[in-house]
């Protein structure tokens, strides 16, 4: 503390004193200007804490609250005594405030002690303010009750401020941050210090219950597992509920979940849950989607060619279903209909249906159709272009696939024994190439598990020209030709061929009549003409 007075000429000595509360002085330091010596008075509070410089500046070490006094500097000359006071103020920053005795939880609609904000060792005394989410909490009767206590330590003179807060919370106080701020004074003015914020667990009763279906799928199908979950909006949430199942009059007591496994269509309906005291309730509607398919007939079915086979695929579902047919892994454009079974109708059929809105809901049944038939034979012949051989073809139909055998009656060399085409839709052909030296008879034998069929054909010697019968085109496309134009063209061509053949036969007949040898009629299958041919051959030999 510098002496506020200017040092005068003729100064004899200077002194410092302080004033007691009653105004009486207490001298604490003396300095002579002539002897240059310093003396300190025997004052216990300032023992070994004072220092007086040559310019009469007084220093006090280890400042205390008790040093807050009115100090006076005295300068004495022979003619005068001058005095000038200095007021000393002492400040002590308090400790950071902290919230103690915190409530374990807060309950709504109940005034209760939230905690105490404590800040210690302040001088002068400070003030405490409560905050919620950064806003000042002002006292409100029966809602916000604040009580501030200031206690001074008699030894140190320092203050401890304790502010208690009683509070009635609401649901909106969930996750609210409570804090307190201490306001104190320092040499530069007013300052503040804030506590760490505290969040309290706020308990409040349930006001609404909610029922959910897990997993949260838009569709449920038969066979699924579903879980009903009931929840309340209270804190803490309810742990037990009553679940009401369609058809049941009494609720089923359970935790917050109720499991339903492998649900069926009869589980469709309204489901409810409530608190155990039945005070609150919520409901939801569950629809269990289903899909039934009935294929008649199904499995393996064996029928005879030409028979009728009614086929039906009946669908029962919770929504409109899509139905389609597959035959031998190829999707069909229309449903199968068998009024007269053919070999090409045989195969593996699948009737399949789906509910497009319900993932994974798909049903299918199969029909393995077997079309059986006794062997049917048609034989054709033709002279090969080299004029050295003839090809005889045996066209065979039947299922199971018939085995084919050939027999030849008469003299002739077989150029190529037999050759079979691919067996398709119950049909195939076997051919034999022969160069007969004389008239011969070829027999085609076709046999399966149902029957043995034999058909013969007379073939003239290679040297005798004859009518060549065309091969029977038996592929599927020819069988399905129904076009009128093609039919008319076929008729016209047939008539022309008949006229041409008739002309050729007549010319051959006239020529053979003149030579009277080896006269052979075209139709070797005609018995009377064959006899004539044998008589002519006999006359030639004689």
Model pTM score: 0.58
Contact 136, 173 (CB under 8 A): no
Q: Which comes out higher in pLDDT, residue 342 or 509?
A: 342
The residues spanned by each domain of the chain are 11-87, 98-203, 209-286, 291-371, 374-459
Tokens of 322: 């899509």
Phi and psi at residue 91, to the nearest 5°: -125, 150
Note the pLDDT tens digit of each residue in 40-74: 999 999 999 999 999 999 999 999 999 999 999 99
Strand partners, 29: 16, 40
The architecture (CATH level 2) of 11-87 comes to Sandwich (2.60)
Instruction: Note whether 11-87 and 374-459 share their fold.
Output: yes
Give the CA count within 13 Å in the CB-facing half-sphere of 12.
7
Average pLDDT (6-18) is: 93
Residue 529 has pLDDT above 80, yes or no: no
Q: Which CATH code for domain 98-203?
A: 2.60.40.10
133/480: higher pLDDT? 133
Q: Stretch 88-100: mean pLDDT, rounded?
A: 96
For residue 102, how many other CB atoms are within 10 A of its CB? 14
163, 177, 194 from 97: Cα distances, Å: 10, 15, 6
What does the pLDDT look like over 349-387, one tens digit per residue? 999 999 888 888 899 999 999 999 999 999 999 988 888
Check pLDDT > 60 for residue 77.
yes
Q: How confident is the model at residue 465 (pLDDT cuts 50, 70, 90)?
A: low
The whole-number pLDDT of residue 534 equals: 41
| Res. 487: pLDDT tops 70 | no
Q: Which CATH class is domain 374-459?
A: mainly beta
pLDDT grade, residue 36 (50/70/90)? Answer: confident
The answer on pLDDT for 524 being more than 50 is no
CATH number of 291-371: 2.60.40.10
Mean pLDDT of all residues belonging to the chain: 87
Q: State residue 478's pLDDT score.
A: 38
- The arrangement of secondary structure in 209-286, i.e. its CATH architecture, is Sandwich (2.60)
- Rounded average pLDDT over 434-459: 93
Q: Rounded to whole angstroms, what are the CA distances from 346 to 59, 131, 304, 398?
A: 123, 88, 11, 12
| Residue pair 310/376 in contact by the 8 Å Cβ criterion | no
Place of tokens 């330590």: 153
What is the band of 437 on the pLDDT scale with cuts at 50, 70, 90?
confident
pLDDT at 132 over 50: yes
pLDDT in tens, 502-515: 777 666 656 554 44
**Quick one: average pLDDT of 289-293?**
94
The mean per-residue pLDDT over the stretch 224-228 comes to 94
């Amino acid at each position: 503390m510098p002496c506020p007075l200017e040092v005068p000429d003729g100064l004899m000595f200077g002194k410092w004193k302080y004033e007691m509360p009653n105004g009486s002085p207490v001298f604490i330091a003396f300095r002579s200007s002539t002897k240059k010596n310093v003396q300190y008075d025997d004052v216990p509070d300032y023992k070994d804490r004072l220092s007086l410089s040559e310019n009469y500046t007084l220093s006090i070490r280890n400042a205390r609250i008790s040093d807050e006094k009115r100090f006076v500097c005295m300068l004495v000359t022979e003619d005068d005594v001058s005095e000038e006071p200095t007021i000393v103020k002492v400040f002590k920053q308090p400790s950071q405030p902290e919230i103690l005795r915190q409530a374990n939880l807060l309950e709504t609609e109940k005034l209760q002690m939230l905690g105490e904000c404590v800040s210690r060792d302040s001088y002068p005394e400070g003030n405490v303010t409560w905050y919620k989410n950064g806003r000042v909490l002002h006292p409100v009767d029966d809602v916000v009750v604040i009580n501030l206590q200031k206690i001074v330590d008699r030894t140190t003179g320092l203050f401890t401020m304790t502010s208690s807060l009683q509070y009635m919370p609401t649901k909106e106080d969930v996750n609210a941050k409570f804090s307190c701020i201490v306001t104190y004074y320092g040499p530069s003015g007013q300052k503040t210090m804030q506590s760490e914020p505290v969040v309290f667990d706020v308990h409040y009763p349930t006001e609404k219950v909610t029922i959910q279906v897990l997993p949260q799928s838009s569709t449920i199908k038969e066979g699924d597992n579903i879980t009903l979950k009931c929840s309340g909006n209270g804190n803490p949430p309810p742990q037990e509920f009553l679940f009401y199942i369609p058809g049941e009059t009494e609720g089923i007591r359970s935790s917050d979940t109720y499991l339903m496994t492998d649900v069926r269509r009869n589980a469709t309906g309204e489901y409810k849950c409530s608190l155990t005291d039945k005070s609150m309730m919520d409901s939801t509607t569950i629809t269990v989607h289903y899909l039934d398919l009935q294929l008649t007939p199904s499995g393996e079915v064996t029928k005879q060619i030409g028979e009728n086979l009614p086929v039906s695929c009946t669908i029962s579902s919770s929504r409109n279903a899509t139905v389609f047919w597959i035959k031998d892994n190829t999707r069909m454009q229309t449903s199968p209909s068998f009024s007269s079974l053919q070999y090409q109708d045989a195969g593996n059929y699948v009737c399949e249906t789906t509910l497009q809105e319900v993932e994974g809901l798909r049903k299918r049944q199969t029909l393995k159709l077997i079309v059986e038939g006794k062997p049917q034979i048609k034989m054709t012949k033709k002279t090969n272009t080299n004029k050295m051989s003839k090809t005889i073809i045996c066209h065979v139909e039947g299922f199971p696939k018939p085995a084919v055998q050939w027999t030849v009656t008469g003299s002739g060399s077989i150029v190529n024994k037999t050759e079979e085409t691919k067996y398709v839709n119950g049909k195939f052909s076997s051919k034999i190439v022969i160069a007969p030296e004389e008239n011969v008879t070829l027999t085609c034998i076709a046999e399966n598990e149902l029957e043995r069929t034999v058909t013969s054909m007379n073939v003239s010697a290679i040297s005798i020209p004859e009518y060549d019968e065309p091969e029977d085109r038996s592929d599927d496309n020819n069988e399905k030709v129904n076009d009128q134009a093609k039919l008319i063209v076929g008729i016209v061509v047939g008539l022309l061929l008949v006229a041409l053949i008739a002309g050729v036969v007549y010319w051959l007949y006239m020529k053979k009549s003149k030579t009277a040898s080896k006269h052979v009629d075209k139709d070797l299958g005609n018995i009377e003409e064959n006899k004539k041919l044998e008589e002519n051959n006999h006359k030639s030999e004689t």
